[in-house]
Structure 1
């Protein structure tokens, strides 16, 4: 495998750049993704995918052994970076996945908690922001979020966590959308995640290239007029109020 070019200067990759550049360089020199990640130390050991027994679930194996089966591809490259950069959060997700598997096994469907955990692991972004921005995002009021309150983004912190989300952004396109988890100031490194809090899937959709300063085209207000990307909130009969994780 040859890694595609990764621009570590972009706003979404810059927080990963120090470690990412180091691992990327080793892979380009011929190391496997697993071996390159292992040179950085960390809370787990990265092993070849073949180390995963045929009938053992991936998450259960990580929980039991402290080893992460890692394929030689871009998806697992970013997964490994998150284990290095956000170890407490990755470990908490794994604990919750393993607990769900121990309780219910692995069926044709994941169930609501495992489904939410997978969404978080693959596509989450962590947002700490002024209340006005959070409210506008909750209501899908895109022009209020990105134009009227544009200056407030200077006080926001958006961290992309999901490794599938990061993989997509190697070749960015307008419709890439994160599942946002709103973070309260002073939150624990594992965000206090629980099965009960995750089950309702309390995520908020955010087209990440709409974030001010993240994409040159969004300097034009008309950028946000694309209803295929910036979709209005749909109310459903009997809809329960959204729960925002804090």
Structure 2
């Protein structure tokens, strides 16, 4: 995948999965295009609970998550990955703070080991690839059962009542160059939540080490969401068993 500050210009902010990110991301991308380093562009626009610094600020041998927890500084590289990570800190400050607290607690308890363990693995999956589904129960039940025909065809009329909110910064990065197999790890959220701020607060309170260790995620190929990708208007789109895999 291309890297460097110039790749921010490849982002198509008209895509439906970026609708909620445009107000945060477009000004930062423009500031980078105008010559600011990414960390400065993020700080200029940010009300995040961290300050963004160059990647070189991370001391050699220091764990990234522990450094953020102890210093309040977030090392940032140029490019799409850390661009979207910065936007996540801006849009979901409570969730990002909670994830960092849980990572720091795991490091304090077990140190930095080659194998992260189930909690740190789940935290990484959440941070990198999570999305939140706020939907009527029949949609969630079909997703849990990997009943793709029910989820996307029979229950298609219910999707206007649902929202899929993307969170993971690696997920957002991949969707700059959309491909059918791109899959999110979906976390159920109450459909009555009406604002991003309330979603941020609810999820930050809901996240805990024990719950995450149970891997409370369900895979969802995001371009299957009705209205997100023109090709899924033809229902044969969902017949691809390499993407829409049946339940074991």
TM class by shorter chain equals: over 0.9
Contact 1:174 1:207 in 2 (8 A): yes
Structure 1 distance, partners of 2:10, 2:174, is: 13
Structure 1 distance, partners of 2:131, 2:37, is: 27
Deviation at 1:55, TM superposition (A): 1.7
Structure 1 distance, partners of 2:158, 2:208, is: 30
2:76 is aligned, of 70, 80, 85, to 70
Deviation at 1:41, TM superposition (A): 2.7
Structure 1 distance, partners of 2:234, 2:77, is: 40
Q: CA RMSD in A?
A: 1.0
Structure 1 distance, partners of 2:171, 2:205, is: 19
Deviation at 1:233, TM superposition (A): 1.0
Give the corresponding residue for 2:238: 224
Residues 72-102 of structure 1: CA distance to partner in whole angstroms, max 9, x if unpaired? 1110000000000000000000000000000
Residues 1:90 and 2:96 aligned together:
yes
Give the corresponding residue for 2:188: 182
Give the corresponding residue for 1:116: 122
Give the corresponding residue for 2:54: 48
Structure 2 distance, partners of 1:233, 1:62, is: 39
Residues 1:153 and 2:167 aligned together:
no
1:11 is aligned, of 8, 13, 16, to 16
Structure number with the higher helix fraction is: 2
Residues 182-205 of structure 1: CA distance to partner in whole angstroms, max 9, x if unpaired? 012446151520000000111100
Give the corresponding residue for 2:170: 164
Structure 2 distance, partners of 1:233, 1:124, is: 20
Structure 2 distance, partners of 1:27, 1:120, is: 27
Give the corresponding residue for 1:205: 219
Structure 2 distance, partners of 1:67, 1:61, is: 7
Structure 1 distance, partners of 2:84, 2:104, is: 21
Task: Specify the SS of the correspondent of 1:179.
Answer: strand
Paired residues in the alignment total: 234
TM-score scaled by length of structure 1: 0.93
Task: Specify the SS of the correspondent of 1:68.
Answer: strand
Residues 1:100 and 2:114 aligned together:
no
Identify if the C-alpha distance between structure 1 residues 191 and 12 changes in structure 2 by more than 3 Å, giving closer, same or farther: farther
2:43 is aligned, of 38, 46, 64, to 38
Listed as ranges, the gaps of 5+ residues in structure 1 are: 235-246
Task: Specify the SS of the correspondent of 2:102.
Answer: helix
Residues 126-160 of structure 1: CA distance to partner in whole angstroms, max 9, x if unpaired? 11100000000000000000000001110111100
Contact 1:123 1:165 in 2 (8 A): yes
Structure 2 distance, partners of 1:39, 1:13, is: 21
Give the corresponding residue for 1:244: none
Give the corresponding residue for 2:196: none
Deviation at 1:30, TM superposition (A): 1.2
Task: Specify the SS of the correspondent of 2:223.
Answer: helix
- List structure 1 runs of 4+ shifted beyond 2 angstroms: none
